[in-house]
Structure 1
Amino acid sequence: MLSALPNDILLLIGEESEQKADRWNLVLVSHHFHDLFLPLVYRKVLIHHWHDANSFLHAILKRPALARAVREFDITNWVQRNISDVDSNLIANSAQLTELLHTASHSKLESDQWSQDLRRGLADAWAALITPLLSRLSKLQLAHGARSPYLDRTMHRALNSERPFCGEPAFQQLREVSLHHREDLDQSDDSETTADGQPSPSLLLPFFQLPSVRSITANSVVDPSSMITPSEQSAEDEELRLGFSSITDIDLRSSSGNHGMKAFVSSCAGLKSFKYQHSDSHVLSHGYQPSAFYRSLSHSKSSLEILWLDHYGRHHPFTAAGLNQSHDEWFGPLVDFTALREFRVRLPNLLDIRYQNEPTTPLIDCLPSSLETIYIEGCEERYLGMLVAQLQTVIKSRRTRFPCLKHINIEGAFTNFPSDGDDDGVITSFGPGVPEVAIKDKVYQAAEPLHIDCVQAGLELHLHDRALSHI
């Protein structure tokens, strides 16, 4: 009965079966179902180690139609495995791999080194060999070490239409890119690294030049401008191209943007979402400098809809530049970001309160009228009363100045860590001797006037503490 349905209907049924096992069962029903549903099985490909990569590569070399079926390619969970001498010889003597390496390489030396690194099981070597074959890829998720010479080389050849990209332009349908740096993969890469062992931004930059890409996520990114000398800085500023990229969403995690990541941010013609999480763990970090992001994002004031700055970032007392005080720097007024719907910013960066109890510029004069969600992080308990008063003023002007506002969130160090006899707040227990961590009663009391105003205005108010998010 099922086989009598038109192929289009059958494919719709197959697409509703999200589990790969269910799709494999369909493939095994008949020869007709095998040919019909096998490309659906290859729609999303997850590679976990060299054996997966080798099997998949031989499958798409044998049936190129399967390569055209792939929409998502994911190696973020790559596990480094030793390759036996027998398997190494099989890889080295594979006629298909030898021919593919000959096509992809520009010299015999390159081909031989590539073959050697395939036999070492390097994720970089396998991914760079496979991805050029996936002509209809829309989502790419890569795990990589501090240096990825094969992926670097492949991307630059794709942009320059060099072999193996001599035909149609490469990656025409690629829209989402995720680059996940993993330190465990650094250990398998004995080539040069950047000064602090972090990934080179050369892997990230080419994706900004692909016209189809809209979203990019990466971690452990060091600002490219941090890697050039001061004498080169002015020349780099002059040569900085503005608005050439089609990327609308950038998410940089555990990164260091000494210069506001301007090489990435300023390149976007219509940036809609920018999320940045700072980390001082990079040797080249000079501390979190919000004003640098204000300058780099100035080209996106009319398009930016979502801004997360330093969500749960890591700040050390000292950085390469010395005493780390820049993390308390004021970002600047957001009022000119006329499309902004949601922001997530630390209190010292949202309001200029350093060395004083009241902001130099009131919150109401810092916010654009387009806001729907306010999320303020890093509020110290001593500033909570001031922040409540500032937000009350915003709510009172909601109808005339902030008609879209729906959600207010405040995060800070608000939890109880009670000692014996401490009755500050309600203390319950998960078990014998394990006190429950909870937001202090006096924090709720301080926020109660704001809660009342939010209820009356039809807004949602939430208090958060990151200690609770890990329980």
Structure 2
Amino acid sequence: DEAWIALLLAVLPNLAALSAHYNHPEGWITRIVSKAAWKQSPFHPNSLSALQRLETLDLTWSGLSTVLSHYEYLPFFHLPSLRTLRLGPVQELHSAYSAADHPAFLPVPAMSPVESLVLDFFCNGRHGMADFIASCANLKRFVYQHTNDIIWVSRQDEEDSAGIDASFRPWCFHEALQTQKQSLEVLHLNDLGDGSMPRPNPPYRGDVDPISHDRWFGSLVDFPRLRDLRMRASNLLNFHPQETEEVVLLRDILPRSLTFLHIADCNEVYCARLVANLEDLLAQHDERLPNLQSLLISPERETPHGTSIRVKDSFRKQWTTLQMMCDRVGVQFSLGGGEKMETKLNHWSPGKVVDEALFG
């Protein structure tokens, strides 16, 4: 198979877009890409220029008996023309990786031309996908949806990672995205993925933060180009401040460039504080968020691991005054229009949004 794929790529030197969906991941794909990226045999620069003009790549696997570790995908970031990349499943269990047998399996800080990176199918990035993000010279769009499920790549991985917390860790992504502050325009961070403790709870080693998935992401005020933000409510504001954190206000952590804001997975207990913050923000609309056009609020799922979303009357009533305020300043306001995703072993699919007002 490896030889045939290499031959196919060799006879398509002008290939600009590639979408591949396989049943099971195979290591030969990344080996081929590593050789093509570095113009090594059989892809000698004087004869074959495979993948040198590839701009768009969508690579996903439907079978999850084997899931590749994140470093297996690093060769794609060495391709000289790649701008749009979607990958999945991806697991980032370790921040450090063993010595690579090829330089393409090492990150390339601020060298990759990738501008759009989507990791939305069965991904677990314990360290914020830092190697991927930091490899980009000017990342404009980043989409990440988290899954609590982990598929062990090997028995050694299982032994090394036994008892780790597989929960979403938002602050790790904030740290990684600091390298892209001047370019990032779109950020969809786990607005559709798992935002709960893994099920069933494993016997964790050492001290584990039981609400790591609900911790604060961090400030976005220093992201001057960010226009589209989608994030869980508990990650947008620090509802659970740690000892070293102060309580923050939305007006102090959002960039003026924002045009679309989706606050997802909003628990009713968060509503009062969110409404107060948003009203404060809209009262200074021209100064703080002059470009804001649309505000979407989605309630949390009915069960932590479910996919159904119900817009209860009690939830809707808490947003009445804010909706009127949005109308006055010309911001489109909507409730419950977002989708949740359910994880299945073969695909992602949207969950249901139920509005009680439609059945009154």
Give the TM-score category using the shorter length. Answer: 0.7 to 0.9
CA–CA distance in 2 between the matches of 1:220 and 1:437?
A: 25
Q: CA deviation at 1:157?
A: 1.7
2:21 equivalent among 133, 143, 162: 143
Name the residue aligned to 1:325: 211
Give 1:440's aligned amino acid.
K
* Map 1:168-247 → 2, pairs under 5 A: 168-183=48-63, 197-223=66-92, 225-226=94-95, 228=97, 241-247=108-114
Cα distance in structure 2, aligned partners of 1:460 and 1:320: 46
By percentage of residues, which structure has more strand? 2
Q: Equivalent residue of 1:177, what SS?
A: strand
Q: CA deviation at 1:261?
A: 0.7
- Equivalent pair of 1:145/1:182 in contact (CA under 8 Å): yes
Judged with a 3 Å threshold, the aligned counterparts in structure 2 of structure 1 residues 311 and 132 are, in CA distance, closer, same or farther, namely farther
How far has the Cα of 1:153 moved from its partner? Answer: 2.3
Show the counterpart of 1:404: 291
How far did 1:150 drift? 2.5
Contact 1:289 1:329 in 2 (8 A): yes
SS of the aligned residue for 2:77 comes to helix
**Separation of aligned partners in 2, 1:352 and 1:389:** 14
State the shift of 1:201 in Å: 3.2
| Equivalent pair of 1:146/1:200 in contact (CA under 8 Å) | no
1:5-37 Cα deviation digits (max 9, x unpaired): xxxxxxxxxxxxxxxxxxxxxxxxxxxxxxxxx
- Among 112, 126, 136, the alignment partner of 1:268 is 136
**CA distance 1:126–1:454, change in 2 (3 Å):** farther
Instruction: Kindly indicate whether the alpha-carbon contact (under 8 Å) linking 2:107 and 2:132 is maintained by their aligned counterparts in 1.
Output: no
Give the SS at the match of 2:319.
helix
Distance in structure 1 (CA, Å) of the matches to 2:148 and 2:309: 28
| Alpha-carbon shift at residue 132 of structure 1 (Å) | 3.1
**Aligned match for 2:252, one of 361, 365, 374:** 365
Give the whole-Å Cα distance in 2 for the aligned partners of 1:293 and 1:437.
Answer: 26
| Secondary structure in structure 2 of the residue aligned to 1:307 | strand
Residue 225 of structure 1, CA deviation: 3.7
State whether structure 2 residue 30 is matched by structure 1 residue 161. Answer: no
Which residue, 180, 183, 186 being the options, matches 1:300? 180
Please say if residues 141 and 178 of structure 1, whose CA atoms lie closer than 8 Å, have aligned partners that are also in contact.
Answer: yes
Cα separation, 2, equivalents of 1:224 and 1:381: 33
1:344-371 CA distance string (max 9 Å, x none): 1111111111179xx8011111101110
Amino acid at match of 1:395: L
Shift of 1:129: 4.6
Question: Closer, same or farther in 2 for the Cα pair 1:202/1:130, shift >3 Å?
Answer: farther
Unaligned runs of 5+ in 1: 1-113, 115-123, 187-196, 233-238, 416-435
Q: Choose between structure 1 and 2 for higher RCO, CA contacts under 8 A separated by at least 6 residues.
A: 2
Q: Distance in 2 between matches of 1:333 and 1:339?
A: 14
Structure 1 pair 457–182 and aligned structure 2 pair: CA distance change class (3 A): same
Residue 126 (structure 2) aligns with = 258
RMSD: 2.8
**Which residue matches 1:249?**
116
Distance 2:35 2:294 in 1: 46
Match of 2:327 in 1: 455
Correspondence for 2:240 among 349, 354, 358: 354
- Quote how far apart the aligned CAs of 1:204 are: 2.0
Instruction: Measure, in 1, the Cα distance between the counterparts of 2:333 and 2:14.
Output: 44
Question: CA offsets per residue over residues 167-199 of structure 1, 9 Å max, x none?
Answer: 253323211111111217x5xxxxxxxxxx312
| CA distance 1:138–1:321, shift in 2 (3 Å) | farther
Kept in 2: contact 1:198–1:220 (CA 8 A): yes
Find the partner of 2:30 among 135, 139, 152: 152
Displacement after TM superposition at 1:241 (Å): 3.8
Identity of paired residues, percent? 31
- Separation in 2 of the partners of 1:164 and 1:370? 47
**Partners of 2:251 and 2:267 in 1: CA distance:** 20
1:442 to partner: Cα distance: 2.2
Whether the 8 Å CA contact 1:287–1:319 is kept in 2: the answer is no
What secondary structure, in the 3-state scheme, does the structure 2 residue paired with 1:274 have?
Answer: strand
Larger radius of gyration: 1
Deviation of 1:275 after TM superposition, in Å, equals: 0.6
> Offset at 1:440?
1.9
TM-score, normalized by length of structure 2?
0.78
1:345 aligned residue (218, 231, 256): 231
Q: Which amino acid aligns with 1:470?
A: K
> What is the TM-score with the length of structure 1 in the denominator?
0.60
Q: Residues 125, 397 of structure 1: CA spacing in aligned structure 2 closer, same or farther, 3 A cutoff? A: farther
